[in-house]
Amino acid sequence: MKIIQTRNYDEMSKAAFNVIADTLKENKQASINTTTGASYDGTFELLVEAINNGDVSIEDSVFTNLDEYVSEREKSFSVYTYMHKNFYDLIKSHPKYIGLLDGSVEDKQAEIDRYNEVLNKNPRDLQIVGLGTNAHLAANEPGTSFNSRLFLADSDESTIQSTMGYHNLTSEEAPTQMLTMGLADIMEAKHILVASSGERKAEAVKATLEGPINEDCPASILRAHPNVTFIMDDAAASLLEKDYK
């Protein structure tokens, strides 16, 4: 595992952007599966700028996503909305294929089957994940099997609270389920990128990097992968016993 500790969020965003940009420069046909949320807001801003300036080419690439809330697709908090608002609607050129889950469909198993075909056709060169405050990856909450595959997941209360805070939602508005790639799906990627920022992530970072590898800490499985880049700012690293600078 390559661990990068930065001073602040802006430096973390730049480091994460560099991983994505390098992936696309090394392989114009790269398949990239991404997450959404506060940890990557700055990274997406940098990526949009680089694409529109012609510094990064994505026309031959494939972009897919980790998960999607079970809700109407156009809700303000949906992954669909985030990806369009923060990326697809802002860039002058687009990937040759865009894959998004649809949590609004009635037949969830049919959607899981459809998206499994998308994933199987597009083996991931880079898997981008965020780290939940309880060390979840995608919607794989603590206790989820390391062998999990794309499934319908119930969100833990801490995850629901994070969603409410980030999207300014009431408890009645907040989604409680997600269609999500499983941990086994995530681990199949050639390279995994993790970015984590802020003191609220410090306990999860410590558990992930220095705690036991077990299903109580889903992100700990990353230490069993041969090619992970883990980026954190000083605040997120504040509880670590080792110095990773």
Distance (Å, whole) CA 175 – CA 139: 12
Annotated catalytic residue within 67, 125, 185, 233: 67
Annotated catalytic residue within 125, 141, 185, 234: 141
Cβ 186 vs Cβ 225: under 8 Å: no
134 labelled catalytic: yes
Number of residues that make up the chain:
245
8 labelled catalytic: no
Annotated catalytic residue within 65, 68, 122, 136: 136
Cβ 16 vs Cβ 8: under 8 Å: no
Tokens of 19: 């991983």
141 labelled catalytic: yes
Element of type H or E holding 31: strand 31-34
Side chain identity at residue 41, one-letter code: D
For CA atoms 23, 25, 31, 37, give the dihedral sign.
positive
Distance (Å, whole) CA 70 – CA 62: 24
Annotated catalytic residue within 65, 86, 122, 134: 134
Q: Would you call 98 helix, strand, or coil by DSSP?
A: strand
Phi, psi of 180 (to 5 degrees): -145, 145
167 labelled catalytic: no
Annotated catalytic residues are 67, 134, 136, 141
